[in-house]
């Protein structure tokens, strides 16, 4: 009875709540692991997935930037090029320390 944790041959992990009598059967292709092993493996898998998603997002942003620049080079106004490409160019004054009167 309680939670049981498993690791599969492909490296994935799962948890399963069991409320029956006796011990549950271990799923085919899995081995039982401790809760700590499960949490560590899940955290590593979650971090790997987040890194993968960030890489995909960065690639998409780079493609949008390239499209934006191509549209600008073709004579499309920047505001229209941004909408068409999905790229959000940085504002030219963001981060600059401009003082009045200097």
pLDDT tens digits, one per residue of 1-38: 689 999 999 999 999 999 888 888 999 999 999 999 99
Is the confidence at residue 92, as pLDDT, over 90?
no
Q: How much is the average pLDDT of 72-90?
A: 94
Between helices 35-73 and 78-85, what is the axis angle to 10°? 140
The secondary structure of the chain in percent helix, strand, coil, rounded to multiples of 5, reads 45, 15, 35
Tens digit of each residue's pLDDT (9 = 90 or more) over 59-79: 999 999 999 999 999 999 999
pTM, whole model, 2 decimals? 0.65
Residue 97 has pLDDT above 50, yes or no: no
């Amino acid at each position: 009875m309680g939670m049981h944790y498993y690791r599969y041959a492909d490296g994935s992990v799962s948890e399963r709540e069991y409320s029956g009598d006796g011990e549950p059967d271990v799923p085919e292709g899995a081995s039982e692991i401790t809760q700590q092993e499960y949490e560590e493996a899940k955290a590593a898998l979650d971090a790997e997935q987040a890194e993968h998603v960030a890489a995909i997002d960065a690639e998409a942003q780079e493609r949008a930037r390239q499209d934006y620049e191509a549209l600008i080079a073709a004579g499309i106004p920047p505001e229209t090029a941004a909408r068409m490409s999905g790229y959000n160019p940085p504002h030219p004054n963001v981060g600059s320390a401009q003082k009045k009167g200097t």
